[in-house]
Chains A and B, each alone.
Chain A
């Protein structure tokens, strides 16, 4: 019985073709309407949080450093799934009801913010001290030096690890299925629960994620080439 279902009889091939053609639409729709927007929106919000968190962590203020450290520690020290459940299923008991998609945006943004802040912090610290000094010596203040001199260089350093984070985020968005966001994986669950073709339908969902991530890694390569124009020396002793 079990083996029978593995061997592909002509009937079965036809059935799978039908399932493929009827389910690919909803899967791609889930990706376009939810998976990709969720990843893009949360990555942008997360990056903004990350930059401020990184700056707080390297600031001279003990209070700012403390707040940033606690935030990063809590987010990194607890499972993303648990965080999403707290926001979506937990907060309503306090009277705070948030729709599935905004809940996911909040949860994922906080997550990206914490992880990416470490990447950005390391990238900022990797820029030689002489770059700060040169910026100060032509009269720049801290924020001018940061925006014009340090962050552009730090951006180059952080593109590969941030791309990794983004690709990881695209896959993590499948967790939003558990808080009722109708994204790719939730669509797959709904389809499979009707036709019981778990292996086939989930594999199709996996394929959708893989295609997205494959395209992203190509974009990453392009960005790196573009930013590579000034690479060769980092401005330290040469």
Chain B
């Protein structure tokens, strides 16, 4: 589903992603872990070109963007439609209701009729357990509810891949599980997912593969059981020991 080859991203002199190769098969859940500043969020943001890589290529569902050449805005726009993104700080549109947040992409980007978009939005909000909150504005929702609306908003665009950038890091502890539950359901339905998170329990239970990134390179990757119980690299061991 996703193939990353020789991906590079630097901010000025700082190399954040250094020649990363990665493949994610369809229907798999990959959890990306690593210390702060390791490049894990940047890698995820490169996948929907919120950060433009300086080199390498990404292909999703057969569509490829080659960043060794200039890439047109149009190509980036089309490429972004393959992925849905969930942000750490939710980034809901505060001037729209929960339902409006979900329908906006459908009506504006996909040209779906208001009525049809509304029906889709209600289904998706029901799916994330917020059928009763569809007319509320973001500031009237809890963080967990906001994040679930954000998931519904991303799903509405019918993405091939869902990207989660520390989706529970801004949440109060008691609200984390309601978001993780929605993510688990998605994984069970066969959604291809790339998740940057510090929730090791989620990684253990849901991930097909865990990738440990440090210094802009993939240090180690493997099944969660292997990474968590028998890490091979010193840096992985050190990082995991700090989490205990």
A-side residues, CB < 8 A to B, are: 128, 130-131, 133-142, 144, 148-149, 152-153, 156, 229-238
Which residue of the partner chain A has the closest CB to B139? A232
CB <8 Å contact, A139 and B104: no
CB <8 Å contact, B89 and A233: no
CB <8 Å contact, B91 and A230: no
Query: Given A233-B138, A238-B143, are A141 and B94 also a contact pair (CB < 8 Å)?
Result: no
CB neighbours (8 Å) of A230 from chain B are 94-96, 137-139
| Set B48, B95, B143: member contacting A137, Cβ < 8 A | B48
Which residue of the partner chain B has the closest CB to A135? B93
**Could you give 30 example pairs across A and B, Cβ below 8 Å?**
A128-B91, A130-B87, A130-B91, A131-B91, A133-B85, A134-B85, A134-B93, A136-B50, A137-B48, A137-B83, A137-B84, A138-B84, A138-B153, A139-B109, A139-B110, A140-B109, A152-B95, A153-B93, A153-B95, A230-B95, A230-B96, A230-B137, A232-B139, A232-B140, A233-B94, A233-B138, A234-B94, A235-B94, A238-B89, A238-B170
Query: Given A137-B50, A230-B94, are A237 and B89 also a contact pair (CB < 8 Å)?
Result: yes
Q: Which of the candidate stretches B8-16, B32-40, B73-81, B205-213 sits at the interface with the other chain?
A: B73-81
Assembly CA distance A133 to B80 (angstroms):
11
Which residue of the partner chain B has the closest CB to A148? B108
Assembly CA distance A235 to B88 (angstroms):
11
CB neighbours (8 Å) of B48 from chain A are 136-137
The 7 closest A-B pairs by CB, nearest first: A232-B139, A138-B105, A134-B91, A137-B85, A130-B91, A139-B109, A139-B81
Assembly CA distance A133 to B73 (angstroms):
15
